[in-house]
Chains A and B, each alone.
Chain A
């Protein structure tokens, strides 16, 4: 049973970079069977897809965030990470990492989520 766990600072100052890591246990980020994704949810609001990374290193980002976001993997630690630059209060949210099972290279469904981590952007 795969488990995903987000970690990182809970408070980030405006204009700085938000950095989160998702540690994967019971599965490998080096597997070609999944997309490794980030999703966020402002408090009391809906869900927003941030982007995903494939084991090959290819990425796909939400255009609304593309200029500020980078998702990467660290196979030695079995982790994938999110960096969001130049944050503002609008980036305050619960950030979730999740795994998407692929079917012949196409997304099949989300099969595992982390519990989420709240990041507040404030000075």
Chain B
């Protein structure tokens, strides 16, 4: 099983600041099969990035993804109030599909 480790666990930032979230895999993952989800309290996760760097429809370009091999990064260039949420990375290239434990982006 591929274990995904996200860091940091919590990111305390102010609106307008830049957020950088990391996702490290225990073994190589094809970037084709790396996704990121955003989850707000009481809501289902929402896909906003797939193939490591492709934004899902409706998500603004302040979100960007990158990475390859075992290291993947999500960057939010300027945090808006609606961006404060929990973010999960996910790999679906190797069974069993796995998720990271999540990074909470909270308002400082």
Contact = CB atoms under 8 A, between A and B. Distances in A.
A109 B100 CA distance: 17
Given A46-B99, A49-B98, A108 B88 contact: no
Contact of B35 (A62, A63, A110, A115): A110
Contacts of B88: 46-47
A108 B50 contact: yes
A16 interface: no
Contact of B56 (A48, A64, A109): A109
Interface of B is mostly: loop
Interface majority SS on A: helix, strand, loop or mixed? strand
A96 B45 CA distance: 9
Interface residues of B, number: 23
B19 interface: no
Interface residues of A, number: 19
Interface string A83-123: 00000000000001000100000011111011110000000
A114 B44 contact: yes
Interface stretch (B10-18, B20-28, B69-77, B89-97): B89-97
Interface of A: 46-49, 60, 62-64, 96, 100, 107-111, 113-116
Interface of B: 1, 33, 35, 37, 43-47, 50-51, 56, 88, 90, 92, 95-102
